[in-house]
Amino acid sequence: MVKTSTLQDVARVAKVSTATVSRTLSNPDVVSESTRRRVSEAVKVTGYRINRAARNLRTQRAHSVLVLLPDLTNPFFSTILEGISRHLSQQGYSMLIASTEQVHASGERLIDYLDDARADGMIVLDGGLDPDVVEMLENAPQAKRILFACEWVDGATFASVRCQNRQGTRAAVNHLFDLGHRNIAHVTGPVGNVLMQARKDAFVDETKKLGLILRPEWLIAGDFSLAAGCLAAQAWIAMHNRPTAVFCASDQLAMGFISELSRHDFKVPKDVSVMGFDDIDLAEQFIPPLTSVRQDRLLIGETAAKMLMARVKTPGDDQLEHAAVIPVSLVTRESTAAPK
Amino acid sequence: MVKTSTLQDVARVAKVSTATVSRTLSNPDVVSESTRRRVSEAVKVTGYRINRAARNLRTQRAHSVLVLLPDLTNPFFSTILEGISRHLSQQGYSMLIASTEQVHASGERLIDYLDDARADGMIVLDGGLDPDVVEMLENAPQAKRILFACEWVDGATFASVRCQNRQGTRAAVNHLFDLGHRNIAHVTGPVGNVLMQARKDAFVDETKKLGLILRPEWLIAGDFSLAAGCLAAQAWIAMHNRPTAVFCASDQLAMGFISELSRHDFKVPKDVSVMGFDDIDLAEQFIPPLTSVRQDRLLIGETAAKMLMARVKTPGDDQLEHAAVIPVSLVTRESTAAPK
DNA sequence: ATAAGTAATGTAATCGATTGCAGAAATACA
DNA sequence: TGTATTTCTGCAATCGATTACATTACTTAT
């Protein structure tokens, strides 16, 4: 370990007590103008840097937050992380990252991160946690410092940040309807996923409300991935009476779908309109550019961080915001058009 | 803060000293079988969890590593992070994430992360640090605990993990040559980037070695992004004597390139062969599936973490591995074919 | 002039785990 | 049995910052 100077060193140089130095740095108003100057000078001279381990021990705060992802390799999360990190670093907090899988594999329990003073709070981006893990988290005394973002757990009482999945789906269906489509299929997300369920339910409701026919086979089971999109396309191709439009529960699905279609010489949107959900970066550059439902991932991240910080900082049960909903918007591009 | 039990509590229950409890947990061999059992029992009873802040303070170790990215939103890094995280968590270390931009914006200095006991080491995935930041890092006493991965800084002496950029480029050029291409263009990365330079130099060398003509305008300046790929495609379209193959310095460039071409009714690989570098997840699903140079990003991450941990753990200047090179491999798909 | 109040600073305990050193107990050896 | 050696355990200092409480030096009011 490299020796850096401590509060003691600064105190010696400034000819004050360590208490005064500490106060000068964390609460300058309570010290006099003259000592404030002397201390600042001494800090500069000694090159003092606070030792966070020491502060963390004394204040019983880790000054960092754990972000839990289902899977680090999923690019969907990167912008959300950016949003989280932006707010945290502004507050002097650090961002720890871990994946559900790895925590599990290492034999640790999730709650340990909070118990052993590694993190003050937790932002969970994974709605698919094991039910017993969820139960443990819910019953933990630190449950208030756990927040779900994007995904959530049905029936659980954690604070959360969510997107308007229902409204987004409604906008998507109406967009297709307005273009003239009457036979619309839906490629869903993975079984058991809350987003998949929310979007699927909204899709069923909205098609019903518009008086559209919805054949059972038009609800094609997928899992948000490119590969599932390809399979869904094969299912679509095999249909006798092909729907003229397909609403996919994610952009990746939509891309896989279109990709597979083009291998079979179908054209989008000429032969079928396809749209996604998320508006990932690539959507705009895809061929054809993808019509999608945009989620402001930066805002999701920032909101999540902000809400969590409020919880971490107020020990009491004050009037804390418990659920934030982030608006979505329809982005119309070239993968959707009127049916022929 | 939620009250968790401490070493003291365990010691009381097990009727031993805190020293013994500590030893039982961190170095079980030195305590007797019987006390080991008593302590384990007491740990279970009390639900003891180590307080990392306390341990970090005492041991002068943060037990965490900072990973510095140029930009959190770039999906290229996610798999590398997975690799890093995998090794770190296995060693009981945590992974902190920050972006160059944000550290800068928050007015902190990079070295502070090491100075203030927040992190024991640093993995930098950004070769584009300001020269004065680089200089400061190099002169810091902790310079040995800084490691560059993927990118690096020319002339600096940091440990690093790199890919075979030269060999990968050579393989790419030879692949195109073997298909029969004699006029090959190169879309480069961003100016000043070390990867861009390495790949460009290798490209120039290899075409020369093969006795190919290389017109100046066939070196098209890009920046690894989709958008730059589009622009490069426009440049290609505008050429009088169009090269029959284009080697892009990244997959994103290649995708942008192909995407723009298709908007102008050119077909890949019929009208021009295009290939990328990186083999990102989407490459396989792109239309057409992209020929690329594969980098094992998981291995890059794991290697980087492993090398850094070795440096963090050995205080001496032992025989530490200083530079690792990760092999790349050519992945042939459908975006390249013989010229017509 | 004295009491009361305010502002600034210092003293020292504290957070919880680790570890050098010393002592006790157990074992080996002569 | 006595001594040397090994094995195990405990005592107490330590890491570096924070903060309750005490103290001192001033101001202001009466």
Would you call B164 helix, strand, or coil by DSSP?
coil
How far the first Cα of chain A sits from its last, in Å, is 71
**Residues B173, B265: one domain?**
yes
Bases of chain C within 7 A of a CB of the protein:
7-12, 14-20
**CA distances for A2 relative to A62, B94, B340, angstroms:** 22, 20, 64
Nucleotide nearest to A11 (CA to C1'): C10
User: b or e along B295-319 (b: 16 or more beta carbons within 10 Å of the residue's beta carbon)?
Assistant: bbbbbbbbbbbbbbbbbbeeeeeee
Please indicate, yes or no, whether residues A115 and A201 belong to a single structural domain of this protein. Answer: no
First CA to last CA across chain B, in angstroms? 71
Neighbouring residues of A309: CB distance < 8 A, sequence distance ≥ 6 = A65, A87, A88, A91, A93, A121
DSSP E strand stretches across A64-105: 64-69, 94-99
Beta-carbon contacts below 8 Å between A and B: 161
Give the domain CATH number at B94: 3.40.50.2300
Contacts of A256 in chain B (CB under 8 A): 285
Q: Residue count of chain B, please give it.
A: 340
Alpha-carbon distances of B222 from A286, A289, B81, B172, B252, rounded to whole Å: 19, 22, 26, 18, 11
Q: What is the pLDDT of residue B63?
A: 96
Domain match, A169 and A255 both: yes
Instruction: Name the residue facing A90 among B61, B106, B262 (closest C-beta).
Output: B106
Alpha-carbon dihedral B82, B88, B93, B95, rounded to 10 degrees: -30
On whether both B191 and B241 belong to a single domain, the answer is yes
- Comparing every residue's Cα with the C1' atom of nucleotide C16, the nearest one is B54
B157 found inside a domain? yes
Chain A residue whose CA is closest to B262? A287
**B contacts of A51 (beta carbons < 8 Å):** 57, 116-117
The 8-class DSSP code of residue A247 comes to: E
Nearest to B24 by CA among B48, B40, B8: B40
CA A262 / C1′ D12 distance in Å: 76
Interface test with B, best of A25, A46, A49 (most B CBs within 10 A): A49
CB atoms within 10 A of CB A180: 13
Closest alpha carbon to B194 in B145, B124, B255, B274 = B124
Same domain, B174 and B202: yes
Nearest-Cα distance to chain A for B195, in Å, is 22
The amino acid present at A241, given as its one-letter code, is N
Give a yes or no: residue A337 inside a domain.
Answer: no
Q: Is A272 left (phi over 0), alpha (psi -120 to 50) or beta?
A: beta
Residue A57 lies inside a defined structural domain of this protein: no
Residues B226, A325: Cα–Cα separation, whole Å:
31
Place of tokens 């999109």: A229
Beta bridge partners of A3: none
Same domain membership, residue B308 and residue B210 = no
Show which positions of strand D are touched by protein (CB under 7 A): 7-12, 14-20
Residue B72: count of CB within 10 angstroms of its CB: 25
Whether the link from the prior residue into A190 is cis, omega within 30° of 0, is no
Distance (Å) from the alpha carbon of A206 to chain B's nearest alpha carbon: 31
pLDDT tens digits, residue range B286-329? 888 999 999 999 999 999 999 999 999 886 666 788 999 999 99
- Inter-residue contact A210 to A184 (CB < 8 Å): no
Contact A256, A225 (CB under 8 A): yes
With H, G, I as helix, E, B as strand and everything else as coil, classify residue A318. Answer: coil
Amino acid letter, B165: N
CA dihedral A286, A289, A294, A295 (to 10 degrees): 10
- Looking at the structure of chain B, the number of domains it has is 3
Q: Of residues 83 to 142 in chain B, which lie within 7 A of strand C by their beta carbon?
A: none
List the A14 CA – C13 C1' distance (angstroms): 23
Count Cβ atoms below 10 Å from residue B191 Cβ, excluding itself. Answer: 10
How far, in Å, is the CA of A7 from the C1' of nucleotide C8?
Answer: 19
pLDDT > 60? residue B1: no
B80-89 pLDDT, tens per residue?
Answer: 999 999 999 9
Question: Mutual orientation of helices A78-90 and A297-313 as an angle, nearest 10°?
Answer: 40
SS3 for B157? coil
pLDDT in tens, B194-241: 999 999 999 999 999 999 999 999 999 999 988 899 999 999 999 999
Residue nearest to nucleotide C12 (CA to C1'): A19
* Residue B291 placed within a domain: yes
Give the tokens for residue A203. Answer: 């899709």
d(CA A296, CA A311): 23
**Are the beta carbons of B200 and B184 closer than 8 angstroms?**
no
- Per the domain annotation, does B334 fall within a domain? no
How confident is the model at residue B337, as a pLDDT? 97
Please give, rounded to a whole number of angstroms, the shortest distance from the CA of A288 to a CA of chain B: 8
Please give the residue of chain B at the shortest CA–CA distance from A298: B73
A contacts of B253 (beta carbons < 8 Å): none
Q: Beta strand pairing status for A292-295 and A328-331?
A: antiparallel
Residue B74 pLDDT: 78
Q: Are A157 and A144 in contact (CB under 8 A)?
A: no
Does residue B95 form part of some domain?
A: yes
Q: Is strand C less than 7 A from the beta carbon of A169?
A: no
- Judge if the beta carbon of A54 is closer than 7 A to nucleic acid strand D: yes
Q: Please indicate, yes or no, whether residues A150 and A252 belong to a single structural domain of this protein.
A: no
Does B115 lie in the same domain as B69?
A: yes
User: Please, is B112 exposed, middle or buried when counting C-beta atoms within 10 Å of its C-beta (0-12, 13-18, 19+)?
Assistant: middle
Interface test with B, best of A66, A77, A78, A300 (most B CBs within 10 A): A78
Q: Are residues A99 and A134 in the same domain?
A: yes
pLDDT digits (tens, 9 = 90+) for B224-283: 988 899 999 999 999 999 999 999 999 999 999 998 998 899 999 999 999 999 999 889
Query: Hey, how many other C-beta atoms are within 10 angstroms of the C-beta on B285?
Result: 19
Residues of B with Cβ-Cβ distance to A86 under 8 angstroms: 102
Task: Render pLDDT for B126-171 as a digit per residue (tens, 0 to 9).
Answer: 999 999 999 999 999 999 999 999 999 999 999 999 999 999 999 9
Measure Cα distances from B307 to A324, B23, B95, B303, B319 in Å. Answer: 42, 28, 15, 6, 12
B336 domain-assigned: no
The residue count of chain A comes to 340
Residues B194, B287 within the same domain: yes
Instruction: Report residues 10-29 of A contacting strand C, contact meaning Cβ closer than 7 Å.
Output: 15-20, 23
Burial class (CB in 10 A: 0-12, 13-18, 19+), A177: middle
Whole-number pLDDT of residue A206: 98
Q: Residues A254, A302: one domain?
A: no
Cβ separation of B96 and A98 shorter than 8 Å? no
DSSP-assigned letter for residue B116: T
Whether residue B30 lies inside any domain: the answer is: yes
Peptide bond before B75: cis, by omega within 30 degrees of 0?
no
Residues 6+ apart with CB under 8 A from A304: A80, A83, A84, A123, A147, A149, A161, A324
Name which of A50, A48, A55, A54 is nearest A10 in CA terms: A48
Answer yes or no: do B82 and B224 share one domain: no
Query: CA at B33, C1' at D5: how many angstroms apart?
Result: 21
Question: What is the domain range of residue B98?
Answer: 62-163+297-326
Q: What is the pLDDT of residue B262?
A: 87
Radius of gyration of chain A (CA): 26
Can you list the residues of chain A whose pLDDT is less than 70?
A: 1-3, 315-318
Provide CB contacts within 8 A for B76, sequence distance 6+. Answer: B278, B280, B297
**From CA A23, how far away is CA B182, in angstroms rounded?**
71
Q: What is the DSSP letter of B289?
A: P
Which positions in chain A touch B86 (Cβ < 8 Å)? 102
